[in-house]
Chains A and B, each alone.
Chain A
Amino acid sequence: MSTKMAYGVFEDDDVVLSAIPKLREKKFKVTDVIAPFPIHGLDHALGLKRTRISMTSFLYGCTGTSLALLMIWYMNIWDWPMDIGGKPSFALYKNIAAFIPVTFEVTVLCAAHGMVITFFLRSKLLPGVEPHVIDDRMADDRFVMSIEVKNDTEKAAAHAAMKEAGAIYVKD
């Protein structure tokens, strides 16, 4: 990595959350906070953009609806229309009531799986990925703040500032 990181380990979610604006005021570049659980308001404190993952789900869902209707229309209306029990398959709009369940299921299938696959790829979550573990208890009860620094003097200052803000210890 070209930029260096200074890490500070905290023991309380409220302390780490309130430390972010304090450190930002002192012009430190707080880039991330690793937490064992989602902290309410952390994304705002860090200034993260709203995630667009739910929009992808909507788009995958629309794709699913279209694919399902296209498939059903092709198979049951166009390619081989059947007359079963006196209920002939004349046109998509005439039989649409019977096609709703499958269309709905395919929509949900595509929306759910498409979104989750996007989430995994976008967040680089895949089997075999080696995690960058900074503290053994960061998925347990500790919170790791990272500050981007350019040189060793900045790093020492960042370490001192995080300690002052409540970090139990600091790390390179």
Chain B
Amino acid sequence: MHYESELREPLILGDKSLHQITEDVCRPIEGKANKYWWAAFTLASMALLWWIIAVSYTLGTGLGVWGLNKTVGWAWDITNFVWWVGIGHAGTLISAILLLFRQKWRLSINRSAEAMTIFAVICAASFIVSHMGRPWVAYWPLPLPNQFGSLWVNFNSPLVWDVFAISTYFSVSLVFWYTGLIPDFAAVRDRAKTKTMKFWYTVLSFGWTGTAKNWQRFEEVSLVLAGLSTPLVLSVHSVVSMDFATSLVPGWHTTIFPPYFVAGAIFSGFAMVQTLLIITRKVLNLEEYITIYHIDMMNRIILITGSIVGVAYITEFFIAWYSGVEYEQYAFINRATGPYWWAYWSMMTCNVITPQLFWSSKLRTSVFATFFISIFVNIGMWFERFVIIVTSLHRDYMPSSWTMYHPTWVEVGIFIGSLGLFFVPFLLFTRFFPVIAMSELKTIVKSSSSQAKKKGAHHHEH
């Protein structure tokens, strides 16, 4: 039995019994969708449709329909890829790293954060495929014998590392998420009223009953998966950063990139979790599970990772000056004062200044402030990748090649559309999957719920 001081904030409010938790979590699955859900789903489907049109046009016509030119060969495509992969990092951080640190507040948010991870990684992967221009040869980075000659992939190349990192990350996160879902699917199955529901949740729950041996294995599997996912999640964004850092482009060729990218990824991931959960808890009436305390905890992580990112920006600038390499120095001066100054200063404002507002506990515990700051962080982190990619490329070693980059409607369409690619599955998830890991949450009812705290306080009075 796990005991906890009543001075700690309760993690479940409203004196919930075990049965009440099941009722609350199953309600969205068993009930009908309300009009807000349908409005959001319609909007997301329209965005997804736009994505399909823009991607089909790109693949049918060729990469010429994008605004890329002879100097800027990567722009919105890789910006969006890194942005989405970064967002995907919070889910694994919450479910794996916080599990190893025994942070119980992860329990009501891990399921939806992991879902977010999976859908975000799908969006990221879609940019890899679309930026290839010829997706029918997308299997070329795989270690297969080449039919055009016995040439293998180059394992010294960071782009090959990335293929392995992203696919491992995606598949392991998916399996981690699904394993956790099985007992909850069983709970939905056992209370299913209709035949269709009974059938589907029986299939999804893999015949789970919750015997002592199964739970023993389940807990061990979760722990080992957390142990494996922790270095994995840190490796993924490190490898993404090496796509840049191992090149010789001034502005990219920096050893600070791996830790700086990982901190940025967790920063943006938590911001997206806040954006999503603040809406989800309201629409699905889960305010008693995803409490102000949970929001406060996540804001603290945003504050610390935002500060790490801020320090990294300043360090980069300092090192550029200290290196004495004029190309490196120019790359950074050009970022801050060149034609893309507005992108650089948007990034600085959103990522370095706004999260510092979270030193105030009033703002940290305000749902309204959190929502707006999380949006700022999402925007700022998009600009960070845009700044790194486009400003480093648009003025290279040869001034005669200097140019500007302008996106076309196709690139804008693919980006906006990718939000649809993300929100359509996420909204379906909130309708068909238990959005809170109820079987895990039930383990803390006797120690961290509001009624447990009252009981503890009552004991002391006597």
* B416-462 with Cβ < 8 A to chain A: 439-440, 442-443, 446
Do residues A130 and B207 form an inter-chain contact, with CB atoms below 8 A? yes
Q: A36-B442, A112-B228 are in contact. Are A101 and B186 (CB under 8 A)?
A: no
Q: Select from chain A the residue with minimum beta-carbon distance to B445.
A: A37
B315 interface residue, CB < 8 Å from A? no
Q: Which of A53, A84, A102 contacts B161 (CB 8 A)?
A: A102
Chosen A-B contacts, 12 in total, with CB atoms closer than 8 Å, are: A32-B212, A34-B212, A36-B18, A37-B440, A37-B443, A40-B2, A42-B212, A42-B216, A75-B153, A108-B228, A112-B229, A119-B217
Closest B residue by C-beta to A75 = B152
Contacts A123-B217, A127-B204, A140-B18 known; 8 new A-B pairs at CB < 8 A: A33-B211, A37-B443, A75-B143, A75-B155, A108-B232, A131-B205, A139-B190, A139-B209
Instruction: Name the segment of A21-29, A43-51, A151-159, A161-169 touching the other chain.
Output: A43-51
A109 to B228, CA, bound (A): 9
In the complex, residue of chain A having the shortest beta-carbon distance to the beta carbon of B183: A139
Measured CB to CB, the closest approach of chain A to B95, in angstroms, equals 13
- A80 x B151 contact (CB < 8 A): yes
User: Does B218 reach chain A (CB closer than 8 Å)?
Assistant: yes
Q: Which residues of A contact B237 (CB under 8 A)?
A: none
The 8 closest A-B CB pairs, nearest first, are A129-B207, A141-B18, A75-B152, A139-B187, A125-B206, A101-B161, A105-B164, A37-B442
Asked whether any CB of chain A lies closer than 8 Å to the CB of B189, the reply is yes
Q: For the complex, what is the distance from the CA of A101 to the CA of B237, rounded to whole Å?
A: 12
Write the nearest CB–CB distance from A102 to chain B, whole angstroms: 5
Which residues of chain A (96-139) have a CB below 8 Å from chain B? Answer: 98-99, 101-102, 104-106, 108-109, 111-113, 115-116, 119-120, 122-133, 136-139
Q: Which residues of B contact A138 (CB under 8 A)?
A: 190, 209-210
The CA of A131 and the CA of B214, in the complex, are separated in Å by 13
Q: Does B59 contact A (CB under 8 A)?
A: no
A140 touching B155, Cβ below 8 Å? no
Dominant SS among interface residues on chain B = helix
Contact B228 A137 (CB under 8 A): no
Interface residue from A42, A51, A80, A116 paired with B175 (Cβ < 8 Å): A116
Q: Please give me the residue from chain B that is nearest to A99 by CB atom.
A: B155
> Measured between C-beta atoms, what is the minimum distance from A3 to chain B in Å?
16
Question: Which residues does chain A contribute within 8 Å of B221, judged by CB atoms?
Answer: 53, 115-116, 119
Chain A residues within 8 Å of B210, by CB: 34-36, 138-139
Interface centre among A80, A87, A105 (most CB of B within 10 A): A105
B439's contact among A36, A75, A82, A130, by CB below 8 Å, is which? A36
Q: Does B195 contact A (CB under 8 A)?
A: no
A137 to B26, CA, bound (A): 13
Instruction: Return chain B residues, CB-CB under 8 Å to A91.
Output: none
Min CB gap A134→B, angstroms: 8
A interface, CB within 8 angstroms of B: 13-14, 32-43, 46, 48, 51, 53-54, 57, 71-72, 75-76, 79-80, 82, 84, 87, 89, 95, 98-99, 101-102, 104-106, 108-109, 111-113, 115-116, 119-120, 122-133, 136-141
Question: Per a CB cutoff under 8 Å, which of B164, B183, B440 touches A101?
Answer: B164
**Contacting residues, chain B, for A129 (C-beta < 8 A):** 206-207
| Given A40-B2, A75-B143, A109-B168, also A127-B155 (CB < 8 A) | no
Q: Which residues of B contact A115 (CB under 8 A)?
A: 221, 224-225
Given contacts A37-B439, A112-B172, contact A105 B235 (CB under 8 A): yes
B19 touches A126 (CB 8 A): no
Interface status of B333 (Cβ within 8 A of chain A): no
Contact (Cβ within 8 A) B183 A79:
no
Alpha-carbon separation in the docked complex, A120 to B150 (Å): 39
Measured CA separation A41–B1 after assembly (Å): 8
Query: Complex formed: what's the CA distance from A133 to B213 in Å?
Result: 16
A113-B172 CB under 8 A given contacts A38-B443, A139-B183: yes
Q: In the docked arrangement, what's the CA distance between A130 and B231, Å?
A: 37
Complex alpha-carbon distance, A70 and B212, angstroms: 40
If A101-B165, A108-B228, A131-B189 touch, whether A32 touches B211 (CB-CB below 8 Å) is yes
Q: A137 to B175, Cβ gap below 8 A?
A: no
Chain B: minimal CB distance from A13 (Å): 8
Contact, CB under 8 Å: A89 / B217: no
